[in-house]
Structures are given as C-alpha cells and as structure tokens.
Amino acid sequence: MNGKATTTRSRLDRGRSALGPALELVHTGRAPTRAVLTAELGVTRATAGAVAAELEALGLIRVDSRPGAAAGSQGRPSHRLTVDEKGPVALAAQIHADGYRAALVGLGGRVVATAPGCVTVSADPAQVLRAVVASGAGLLRDSGRRCVGAGLAVPSAVAEPEGTALNPLHLAWPAGAPVRDIFADLVRDAGIEGPAFTGNDVNLAALAEHRHGAGRGAQHLLCVATGHRGVGGALVLDGRLHTGSSGLALEVGHLTVNPEGRPCYCGGRGCLDVEADPLAFLTAAGREPGPEVSLLQQSRDLLRDHADDPGVRAATQELVDRLGLGLAGLVNILNPDRIILGGLHRELLAADPERLRAVVADRSLWGRSGGVPILGCTLEHNSLAGAAELAWQPVLDDPLGALGRPAA
C-alpha cells in the first residue's frame, strides 16, 4: 500500500515537472503526436499520456485520440496533439513610430484578434499606452477568453532590471521613460489578469521567429529588421535571447555603414539606422514621404509597384549594399548559423537576394561565415507574437502553478 502510494506520488511529480516541457513542445510544433511527445520527453507512454491529459484538462491543448489514418499507413496512428484553439490568450501590445497595435495571441503564436491604431505618438508614454491597453481590453471583452498576462513591444532598448526605454529615438518619449511600470499599472487598472512584461520590438520578433517562424532550429540566430523607423538587431542563443548585462546588447542600428553618410540621432554619421530604414529608401528613390500611410507601407508599395523604375532599382541596390555591409560586420563578430531579416529588410532580400548574399560573403572571408543562410522573417506580426511569448512564459515554465489550479 505504502509502496504503491510512493510510486503514484513519484509518477505525479515526474508528470508535473514534465508539464512545462511538454507544453513547450506542442506550443512550438515539435510534438504533433503523443508518440513524438513520449520520445522527446524520454518518459513512458503512460506518463506522456497523463501529461497530455492534464494539459488538455487545463484547456491548453487538444488530444485527438482518433486522427484520420493516412491511406496505406500501417497500424494505429498515434494521438494527435494541437494547441486548444479556444484556450486562453495573452494580450500583446506594440508601439511604433506611426501608432500602436493590440492583439490577442494564443498558444502556438496564433494571433486570435488584432486591432491597429494610427496616432501621432505623444511625448507622454502613458497616453499611447493607455490607448493600446484600452484597445486590448476591448478585444479581450469581445473574445470572452481567459487572459494569462500581457506583453508590450517598444521600439527602444529596454534597460534591465529597471524596465526603462533607454533610447526611444524615433518616438518623442523622454529617454529613460519607465515604460514597464506604466504598462503594468495600466494593465492592472484595466482589470486584466496576469503579469505584465515589456521588451524591445526586434528582440521579441526574434524570439517569436525562433519559436514559430523562420528561426526554428537555429542555434545562433541573428535577426536584423527595420520596422517603421530605424534598424534593430537581436541574437537568440540556444533558444534564449542574448540581451547583454543590462538589456542593451545588439544595438546594431548604430554600426557605421557609410562614413560620409547622413547624421544620425545618436550623434554619429552614416549609421545603419539612418542609411537602411524606410525613410532612407524613399529618399534614395527620390520620393517625398507622404503622411497617409506608414513609411514602411510606402516603401513596400514602391518596391512592389515600381520595381522597374530606374530610381527605385538604384535605391534598392544602394540599401542592399549598406545592409550587406552591416550584416557582414555582424557575421564576423557573432558567427551566427542563420540570419533572418524583418520589415523592409525582408523585402530588400526578396528584391535582390543574390546581391545581398554576395555583399555579405565578400566581406566575411573566414571559414563558413560567408555562407550563412539569410532568410526573410515569416510571421506576420512577429513583435506582437514575441510580446505574447513573454506573457506565456510563466505558463510554459509551470502550467499548473501559473493557471492557479492546485496539484492533484
């Protein structure tokens, strides 16, 4: 009797400690069946079955015990595992130079609902954060879903551990604005459940792409992106964001790529930030940026609709060369095994992949660095998905603890 109780207890303990790893495997699409889950966790079939059943009881995943067998397949197919499409969500928010966007993001990085807002971002961070939190609260109310927490992406380095926006160069915010505290207060005041987190937008994009997109399986993933203004970078090492000693690593926007170039907000000259962003592209193409839509959208429209225009072609080559120069410098320092490009940089890669790869290869001469794969990001709202990852992390670490159900 006593022996049996001990066995049951230890199986439960083992099961509980496997809940987080199991959820992460389903969340990132690496365990599509119970058989794969069993193998990945290195547990018995019975333990894997109990773990999957517990995650299903928590409303996080679905276990399909009768998946349609593929024609001609042998034997009984393993139970299929998917995230529960009706399960809880994280509230994700993003601030950028042209406004904000709120979204609800489920497990698997799935955007369930989203609402954009186009505003002139005021010098008072609380003003735009209040708007994006109100927008997110509205989405939550309409959905009727349980919320696991909230995450915010900002176009600035976020200093650790203070949670301050250190260099919001393209917003009118004061340097050092306490964005994490402001966001957390607004989320709590709106009655939204769960903890609140804040991170840099490109860091969060890289995290989401590593878990759900173009970065899956990379060990040393370098991400470089230009969203609305400026250029950001991020590095994911063995699945974890490398943020440096105080959150400020990978400020790639201030690499010099054109010593004779235009002055930068940082006080330097010819930085990637001002030489390879949408404004630089529109200017190089001789276009006057208009106020109707974001600079990113104007640049995309120009690339799509006027790719054969000599001015647009020349501007594309100029930006590809500058971006390539910056990437080569980073490759020589970081030796990544994959590079992913976001925002306008993804479009520049698509417009002239050979030229970009050639510039990077020419300038990175050692070993295999010159041959590092360069891919475009694949998630539509990767900064928002990454902000949601922050809010999902406590659930991924300890599903039972985070969702507040006592252990059996």
Nearest-approach distance from CB 283 to Zn ion, in angstroms: 16
Euclidean distance between CA atoms 12 and 50, whole angstroms: 9
User: Least separation, in Å, of the C-beta of 266 and Zn ion?
Assistant: 3
What minimum distance in Å lies between the beta carbon of 274 and Zn ion?
A: 7
Q: Which is nearer to Zn ion, 27 or 254 (CB)?
A: 254
Instruction: Report in angstroms the alpha-carbon separations of 279 from 66, 287, 302, 325.
Output: 54, 9, 12, 19
Which residues contact residue 130 at a Cβ distance below 8 angstroms, ignoring those fewer than 6 apart?
186
Q: What is the DSSP letter of 93?
A: E
Q: How far is the CB of 99 from Zn ion (least distance, A)?
A: 24
What contacts 268, CB < 8 A, 6 or more positions away?
A: 254, 256
Does 261 participate in binding Zn ion (rule CB under 5 A)?
A: no
268 is a site residue for Zn ion (CB under 5 A): yes
Least distance CB 345 / Zn ion (angstroms): 17
- Give whole-number Cα distances, 173 to 62, 178, 337, 342, in Å: 44, 10, 36, 24
Piece of 60-68, 184-192, 262-270, 314-322 that binds Zn ion (CB under 5 A): 262-270
Binding mask 228-257 for Zn ion (x = CB under 5 A): --------------------------x---
Give the residue with the Cβ less far from Zn ion, 26 or 252.
252
Task: Using the minimum distance from each CB to Zn ion, give the nearer residue, 77 or 265.
Answer: 265
Contact indicator for 312, 248 with CB cutoff of 8 Å: no
**Residue among 224, 264, 303, 344 that touches Zn ion (CB under 5 A):** 264
How many residues contact Zn ion, by CB under 5 A?
Answer: 6
- Residue 63 CA to residue 65 CA, distance in Å, equals 6
- For 182, 237, 375, the CA distances from 221, given in Å and listed in that order, are 31, 7, 11
Does residue number 271 form part of the binding site for Zn ion (CB under 5 A)? yes
Q: 279: burial class by Cβ within 10 Å (0-12, 13-18, 19+)?
A: buried
The answer to whether the beta carbons of residues 26 and 37 sit under 8 Å apart is: yes
Among 12, 115, 190, 266, binds Zn ion (CB under 5 A): 266
- Of 194 and 233, CB closest to Zn ion: 233
> Which span (29-37, 93-101, 112-120, 260-268) binds Zn ion, by CB under 5 A?
260-268
Give 215 or 329: the residue with its C-beta nearer to Zn ion: 329
| 54 vs 273, beta carbon nearer Zn ion | 273
Helix (H) / strand (E) containing 148? strand 147-154
User: In terms of CB distance, is 81 or 264 closer to Zn ion?
Assistant: 264
302 phi and psi angles, rounded to 5 deg: -65, -45
Using the minimum distance from each CB to Zn ion, give the nearer residue, 227 or 386.
227
The one segment of 85-93, 263-271, 295-303, 327-335 that binds Zn ion by CB under 5 A: 263-271
| Span from 180-188, 239-247, 270-278, 373-381 in contact with Zn ion (CB under 5 A) | 270-278
Size (the chain), residues: 408
Nearest-approach distance from CB 108 to Zn ion, in angstroms: 37
Give me the helix-helix angle, 2-27 and 45-57, nearest 10°.
Answer: 70
- Say whether residue 276 binds Zn ion (CB under 5 A): no
Q: Which residues bind Zn ion (CB under 5 A)?
A: 254, 264, 266, 268, 271, 273
